[in-house]
Amino acid sequence: MTEYCKRGYLLVSEIGEKPSEERLRQKKVAFIECPQEIPCNACVHSCKFDAVLMDNINAPPKMDYDACTGCMRCIRVCPGLAIFMLEIKDDMGRVTMPYEFLPVPEKGETVKLLNREGKEVGEGTVTWVLPPERNEGTALVTVEMNKDLIYEVRAFRVV
């Protein structure tokens, strides 16, 4: 069994190739954290821009960051909640995450940022919400935070 399976989460050092900061400042981009060989390619089929690449149905997906338009179709269909949207805007980081808890936060709300281990690493501000009833039961929430945290924060807690 791989180390991340035993641990239960990926370290930042294990998440693969990242988009450049220049790309992150252009517009939001999908960032996929799906290293396991599983028979799933919903992300590939959802993308109309050939930005998600896969050698075969069991291979982990890879991203062409230049091809990604930030349309968010892939994050809406991923059954593994393994896709995040990342962006740097006005020198602040923005992470869009799937969220399956209640209550769903509202735009403008302050939330506690949680890292990959579930530890609090600061506070963020909700800038966008797609409610669960409009996305097959899973909310999507964008949280603004220090840009240095966009690869650390993978969850949040409503306060």
CA distance 83 to 105: 20
Neighbours of 154 (CB within 10 A): 20
140 and 130 Cβ atoms separated by less than 8 Å: yes
**Residues 29-48: x/- map of binding to ligand SF4 (CB under 6 A)?**
-x-x-x-----xxxx--xx-
- Taken as a whole, the chain contains a residue count of 159
Does the protein bind ligand SF4 through residue 70 (CB under 6 A)?
A: yes
Helix, strand, coil percentages for the chain (3-state, nearest 5): 20, 35, 45
Q: Which stretch binds ligand SF4 (CB under 6 A): 15-23, 74-82, 92-100, 144-152?
A: 74-82
One residue of 24, 68, 111, 140 binding ligand SF4 per CB under 6 A: 68
Which residues lie near ligand SF4 (CB under 6 A)?
Answer: 30, 32, 34, 40-43, 46-47, 49, 51-52, 61, 68-74, 78-80, 82-83
